[in-house]
A and B are shown apart, each in its own frame.
Chain A
Amino acid sequence: MQTDKIRPVLLDLTGVDKSFGQVHALSGVSLSLHQGLCTGLVGHNGAGKSTLINVIAGFLPPSAGDVAFDGVGTLNLLSIDQRSALGIRCVLQELSLCPNLTVAENTQLLHRHLRGRGWRRKAADLIIAKLDDIFPGHGIAPHTELRRLPLGARQMVEIARAFTQTTTEVRLVILDEPTSSLDTQSSAQLLRYVRTFVEGGKNCLFVSHKMDEITSVTDEVVVLKDGRVVHQIETKDTSRAEIVSKMGSIDTDLRGASQKKTFGGKDSDGIALGLPAGPDIPPLSLRPGEVIGLAGLAGDGQTEALKSVLARYKRKCTFVAGDRATDGVFPLWSIKHNTSIGALHSLLSNGIIRSQSEAKLANDWKDKIGIRASGIDADLTSLSGGNQQKVLFARALASASDIVLMDDPTRGVDVGTKREIYQIIEAEAQTGRSFLWYSTEFDELTYCDRVLVFCQGKVAVVLEGAEINEQNVIAFSFGQKVSA
């Protein structure tokens, strides 16, 4: 920390809050970035990393607090373009380049003053020089349309573009999971470049889930948890294990650890899941009445796993969407029709759906899981989000399928409704239904008999009973190896 005191502050956040409705994504974040350092930003799902970099880059205005930049003062009223002109550049996880424009044309978008005759050539020279600098041997032609490039090459262009410099000096580059679609060689090239960049007195804010990258490229590490900075330390003074432990809660009062019984069923009674798994994982199966949790970092293969099971067992499975609007809701239908769609075959007489049976089914489930609505003929979209989610549960449970696949089903649902949903799951498991439950919340995993922790698209470990705790889930989702 001694050296930091000497270095001037480049970016200064004081008491930054950001809330979306009732959700506090950031609460009172104060953070100073000192010139010439690479700062690693780490945290588990929903810790607030994306919100924080969006606030710094100007995509989101903070609800409270101040973002100040060296020599400029507060940035709060400046647009993204104005911040870019100050030398703040941002590479977001979702690529922001225009697929229908060429590499050179995309570069010009960041450097609008390249105009007049030959602007394409100037832009091409600019981006190619930078690509050569960062990724020697990249093989990208400047006049290729972006969509014709493979994903990895697109990310290389996006990264290189952020570092290109014409009139104003680039001072801070925010990299959000920059290596997620780069191969090993390109990743190593990028990390080398970031080091030379910051040693030239510039700054990098480096967000990554890969601990190897964090420990090798950063000078200091900032750990976010529940929207707060919980830890800030020089990289050389810490260890991978310490960083990972800071991301979890110290509080281990988990319901499951005390109450969880060992699940009695036999593997032979279950269905084979056939999930991609690490080398030490035995073949996985889901037994009748069992609740298996899928954990790990968001987007590490859990949803794909659920969909592969659905594709494999079709009608034996039923799916509860977490992303309601995209995967679950039929917006023009009533509660009744939305509920019955999975169970129509049980309502037929002579091939025709009996109206009375359908109404009874919908009413029964409405009462059973407490859907608060004026009646089953009300439009589904007239309900609150939580009640819509309950209808999706009703749809799944009303079906004859024995296996319920749940894709983070309590996303955006209030606490009371969550409790009710947990009770429904427990009650249904008692009747012999099995659940495969992808969840991004630790608390929910304690309702599971077993938890599969995903890391980079594969099941990294199977946790059971008392092993199911936050520390284990975090450690394994960041790639810790199972100790022998």
Chain B
Amino acid sequence: MNTRFSIKSTVGSAPWIWSYAAAAVMALVTITFSRASGGLDLLTASMSFATFFALTGVAQLFVITLGPGNIDLSIPANINLSAAVAMQVMGGSDTMVLIGLLAAMAVGSLVGLGNYLLIALLKIPPIIATLASSFVVQSIAIAYAGGYRVQPPPGLKEFVRAKIGPVPLMALAAILITMCLAVLLHKTPFGRGITALGQNPTAARLANIAVERTRALTYALAATIAAFCGVLLAAFSGGSSLEMGNEYLLSSIAVVVIGGTAITGGRSFLSGVWGASFFLFLLITMLNALGASPGLRLMMMGIIICLVVFLASFRNAGIGQAVFAPLLKASRRPR
């Protein structure tokens, strides 16, 4: 009795565990289906691609934590613009990598502040404000990049492809950044302010939390993370393109929710974003291995993400609890 209770309460307070369970199951299924001997290759690939899902997810998580209605739909356009800026500033030269990266992140933070200003000053709901700003940002990207594809500097290209054993260096860097952001969210007054705001904005204001400053900084931070992700993505795929961010709109929201974070804000798990990103990548891989055509694949993706988010919305507890908890219950019944 006692052990069962403690397992239940542990998982209840850490719903992100389920996203890893789902990823593990998906990995087994994928390996079985592809009958691949290259388990290590799968690990390398999933870590590289999961990095992009995870970083956009982390960006989205910060905004979602702010509370009901908060969301950033400008992440794809922001990725497209920031990557284009970075590649142009770098101009293929290794000496300009840092400056290009900073330029991209500066662009990102401006996009984030713009989002906040639309929301706060014009009192537009975030879903509309960020969608509108994404059109503006995308238009700027088109005008700025003009359809050229600038190659990334060779050093940067090397970095994003580098591995320690089977583990990509880029993924390790992104995991390190996620850990720092977890400290920011859970262990600093700023992060506590975000979480408090997501639960009860009136109480947050009365507890002397600088509500508007917290909101503004959070939107800016999220957009900066997305811009950083855009630079890595451009380096990884051999130069920026104007559509490369587009697949990260739905996925950024999906990995947050699959990772056990409350879609209504105030309760967030950065670790879950990574588990969910692995799950999502493996899901796509499996669909590829099954030989699904691109159209079918996209359709399946849409259906599965909707289903997962729907299941995850039960008690804000992540996909796993919704799927596995009934099974666990059923397996216990004979006792």
Interface residues of A (CB under 8 A from B): 310, 314-315, 317-319, 321, 326-333, 337, 341-342, 344-345, 348, 351-353, 355, 395, 399, 401
Comparing B181-189, B244-252, B269-277, the segment that makes contact with chain A is B181-189
The CA of A452 and the CA of B20, in the complex, are separated in Å by 59
Q: Chain A residues near B262: list those with CB within 8 A.
A: 332
The CA of A352 and the CA of B180, in the complex, are separated in Å by 11
Whether A332 pairs with B267 at a CB distance below 8 angstroms is yes
B111 touches A (CB below 8 Å): no
Q: Chain A residues near B207: list those with CB within 8 A.
A: 318-319, 341-342, 395
Interface residues of B (CB under 8 A from A): 183, 187-189, 192, 195-196, 199-200, 202-204, 206-209, 262, 266-267
Q: Chain B residues near A328: list those with CB within 8 A.
A: 200, 203, 206
Whether B208 pairs with A342 at a CB distance below 8 angstroms is yes
The CA of A348 and the CA of B188, in the complex, are separated in Å by 8
Whether B189 pairs with A330 at a CB distance below 8 angstroms is no
Partner of A329, one of B187, B189, B200: B200
Whether B206 pairs with A315 at a CB distance below 8 angstroms is no
A348 with B189: in contact, given A315-B208, A330-B196, A341-B196 (CB under 8 Å)?
yes
Tally of A-B Cβ pairs under 8 angstroms:
63
The CA of A332 and the CA of B260, in the complex, are separated in Å by 14
Whether B200 pairs with A319 at a CB distance below 8 angstroms is no
**Nearest 6 CB-CB pairs, A to B?**
A344-B189, A319-B206, A330-B199, A332-B267, A353-B187, A332-B266
Q: Chain B residues near A318: list those with CB within 8 A.
A: 207-208
Whether A352 pairs with B188 at a CB distance below 8 angstroms is yes
For this complex, 17 residue pairs linking A to B, each with C-beta atoms less than 8 Å apart, are A310-B206, A310-B208, A319-B207, A319-B208, A321-B206, A326-B202, A328-B200, A328-B203, A329-B203, A330-B196, A330-B199, A332-B195, A332-B266, A333-B199, A341-B192, A344-B189, A399-B208
The CA of A345 and the CA of B193, in the complex, are separated in Å by 12
Whether A327 pairs with B208 at a CB distance below 8 angstroms is no
Known: A328-B203, A330-B204, A331-B199. 7 other contacts (CB 8 A): A327-B206, A328-B206, A332-B199, A341-B192, A344-B189, A351-B188, A353-B188
- Smallest CB separation, B68 vs chain A (Å): 13
Partner of A345, one of B189, B199, B200, B266: B189
Q: Chain A residues near B267: list those with CB within 8 A.
A: 332
- Smallest CB separation, B264 vs chain A (Å): 9
A337 with B192: in contact, given A328-B203, A352-B187, A353-B187 (CB under 8 Å)?
yes
- Smallest CB separation, A357 vs chain B (Å): 12
The CA of A319 and the CA of B204, in the complex, are separated in Å by 11
